[in-house]
Structure 1
Amino acid sequence: MNEILDGLLSTVQSVDPVLRVLITGIAMVFETSVLLGLVVPGDTIVLVSSTGVDGPVQYVALALAVIAGALCGESIGFSLGRFFGPRIRASRLGRRLGERNWVRAETYLERRGGVAVFISRFLPVFHSLVPLVVGTSAMRYGRFIAWTAPACVLWAFAYVSVGAFAAGGYRQLSGQLHVAGYLFVAVVGAALLVIYLVKKLIERSEDKHMRHPGE
């Protein structure tokens, strides 16, 4: 296990830190703006990149890149919704998302307003769909950013911290413990399980606000 993890972590860390941060930031831009997050989840991108973090400077730089990329991506998504919302919804990709998801996102935004924007950052599908839906609504861009910015900050530091601290702990213990690899997997798995359960709790508590009348 240690040999496999050493190879994987070394591969990520071998990428120039500046390039790694830049790639992650750009990936986050596309993750929301063009619905790439429905294919390659942003949390996977951030977790992999954060395992290469070496020191507080790289940690902060990566977190800031993720935040900046997420905000740019959501801003682009908002603009696409504002100018091309109906076309995107009627496109092949829009139809694959399902009319039910579009209606639920619209209902959620109508009932919860800015709160829906904040919470959607942590919900599967909705985090990519809501910026487009907000763009088609009457909500102003300034209000949209005011609600999504703190969500992006919280989301970014949560995922960067999980990957960076787990990988850092593994590197410290790998030379001392043969089971360090299993501990790394256990820590990451436990963190992802907690995140998954929190998302499910949020989704359940908010579901009543997403239901279309008569659903």
Structure 2
Amino acid sequence: MDDALRWLLDLVESVDPVLRTTLAGIAMLLETSVLVGLIVPGDTVVIVAATGVTSLLDGVILALVVISGSLAGESIGFALGRWLGPHIRTSWVGRRIGERNWVRAERYVQRRGGIAIFLSRFLPVMHSLVPLTVGMSTYPFRRFILWTLPACVIWATLYVSISAGAAQSYRTLSETAHWAAYIFVGAILLLVVGVFVAKKVIARVERRHLDD
């Protein structure tokens, strides 16, 4: 496992940092805009990109780009909701999402307001539907950004710091400890499982606001 992991990390690190960071930002823009977030694995792209980070500055730049991509994507979703929301909802893609999910998103925003915008970043399906839904309402764009900004910051900081920290720890320990690979894999699994459990907990707590 050490050889395969070292090869993979070296491969990611060998990619031009500007390209690697740009791709992560684009992935987040796509994930949080319109309905592309239902199929684009933005979190996976960010994890992979973060394993190539070799300095604090690189990590900070990556996190800022990921945050910017997320905000740009959600802003696009909001704008399209304001201009084309009803058309998107009745389009082929909108029908595939299902009217029930659209109604749930509307109720959630109406009942929870800014809290719904903040938490939607951590909820499956809702993180793509809520920007569109908010855009279709009279909710001000400035307030929308004020609620979604801290959620994007928390999300990006969590993913970039843990993934980069795990990769850096592996690089430091791999020369002297054969079990370094297990630390890296364990840290990434802990991140993925922790995020999955957190999403489930948030979804369960918020379900009464989604379904009532």
Unaligned 5+ segments in structure 2 are none
The letter for the 2-side match of 1:94 is G
CA–CA distance in 2 between the matches of 1:105 and 1:21?
A: 32
How big is each residue's C-alpha offset from its partner over 1:107-158, in whole Å with a ceiling of 9 and x where there is no partner?
A: 1000000110000001111111110111101101011001001111111101
CA–CA distance in 1 between the matches of 2:63 and 2:176?
A: 30
CA–CA distance in 2 between the matches of 1:110 and 1:178?
A: 54
Residue in 2 aligned with 1:57?
A: 57
1:77-156 equivalent positions in 2, closer than 5 A: 77-156=77-156
The two structures have a TM-score, normalised by structure 2, of 0.96
How many residues of Structure 1 are paired with residues of Structure 2 in the alignment? 212
Residue in 1 aligned with 2:199?
A: 199
- Over the aligned positions, Cα root-mean-square deviation in angstroms equals 1.1
In the TM superposition, residue 197 of structure 1 has moved relative to its aligned partner by 1.1
Percentage of matched positions with identical amino acids: 57
The two structures have a TM-score, normalised by structure 1, of 0.95
The letter for the 2-side match of 1:35 is L
In the TM superposition, residue 205 of structure 1 has moved relative to its aligned partner by 0.5
In the TM superposition, residue 41 of structure 1 has moved relative to its aligned partner by 2.3
CA–CA distance in 1 between the matches of 2:51 and 2:37?
A: 20
Aligned partner of residue 176 in structure 1, secondary structure: coil
Aligned partner of residue 53 in structure 1, secondary structure: coil
CA–CA distance in 2 between the matches of 1:34 and 1:141?
A: 16
Contact between 2:33 and 2:75, CA under 8 Å: does it hold in 1? yes
In the TM superposition, residue 196 of structure 1 has moved relative to its aligned partner by 1.2
2:171 is equivalent to residue 168 of structure 1: no
Could you list the runs of 4 or more consecutive aligned residues of structure 1 that deviate by over 6 angstroms after TM superposition? Answer: none
Contact between 2:85 and 2:136, CA under 8 Å: does it hold in 1? yes
The letter for the 1-side match of 2:196 is Y
In the TM superposition, residue 35 of structure 1 has moved relative to its aligned partner by 2.3
Residue in 2 aligned with 1:42?
A: 42
2:43 is equivalent to residue 23 of structure 1: no
In the TM superposition, residue 162 of structure 1 has moved relative to its aligned partner by 1.5
The letter for the 1-side match of 2:91 is S
Aligned partner of residue 54 in structure 1, secondary structure: coil
Unaligned 5+ segments in structure 1 are none
CA–CA distance in 2 between the matches of 1:10 and 1:167?
A: 10
The letter for the 1-side match of 2:56 is P
In the TM superposition, residue 65 of structure 1 has moved relative to its aligned partner by 0.1
CA–CA distance in 2 between the matches of 1:114 and 1:9?
A: 39
CA–CA distance in 1 between the matches of 2:115 and 2:174?
A: 43
In the TM superposition, residue 183 of structure 1 has moved relative to its aligned partner by 2.1
Residue in 1 aligned with 2:71?
A: 71
In the TM superposition, residue 48 of structure 1 has moved relative to its aligned partner by 0.9
How big is each residue's C-alpha offset from its partner over 1:40-75, in whole Å with a ceiling of 9 and x where there is no partner?
A: 222111111101001000000000000111001100
Contact between 2:67 and 2:153, CA under 8 Å: does it hold in 1? yes
